Chain A
């Protein structure tokens, strides 16, 4: 069974540009989560989808971040426009219930 996949693995962009991160969850997992780890800080929750609906987006830092999960399968996280403080590793996880399975993460660098 394939695990959670994320694309790209790395992204380097300039401040003000737009970046879209993609997450493909484990097939059949209704729950999909996004997390972020900024350098030197803890991994922090961004939001939670149940199928295509946003269950909890309390961790989204501001309105420059937009997450979607069309059709309840893969999800995208768009940052527009990117700022320097958005640099970090973005993790996606999926689950059937409590136990979450993580992808390898996307390392985003904003210059």
Chain B
């Protein structure tokens, strides 16, 4: 079955430390890939997306993600975490070809220690 896996339910990092959130997908073809963030009391905000081309994509708030076809992964990274990055992060995919519904992973909750 087609799926998106975020293996880490909860991650805690110290402010200033680097961050990597993992995402793997299970599809036959390369889908469109997204990372969204939900801060407390807020809606989902798009951090970055990958459709094609350069496999390292830059997003907002200093985040980047790298698409690795061989690993079916799209991991999210940030070199130095800020306390305001504490939120829940969702990886999502769209198959394309007229079907633009998003399929989400279960999310990773990020806590930041001052």
B49–A99 contact, CB under 8 A?
yes
Whether B51 is near chain A, meaning CB under 8 Å from some CB there, is yes
Give chain B's interface residue range (CB within 8 Å of chain A).
20 to 34
Instruction: Give the total of A residues in contact with B, Cβ under 8 Å.
Output: 25
- The verdict on A100 contacting B100 (CB below 8 Å), with A42-B106, A42-B107, A43-B90 known, is yes
Closest B residue by C-beta to A9: B41
Closest B residue by C-beta to A92: B43
A-B contacts at CB below 8 angstroms, number: 57
B105–A100 contact, CB under 8 A?
no
Whether A74 is near chain B, meaning CB under 8 Å from some CB there, is no
**A42 to B103 Cα, complex, angstroms:** 9
Residues of A close to B99: CB separation below 8 A: 56
- The verdict on A43 contacting B104 (CB below 8 Å), with A56-B99, A98-B94, A102-B36 known, is yes
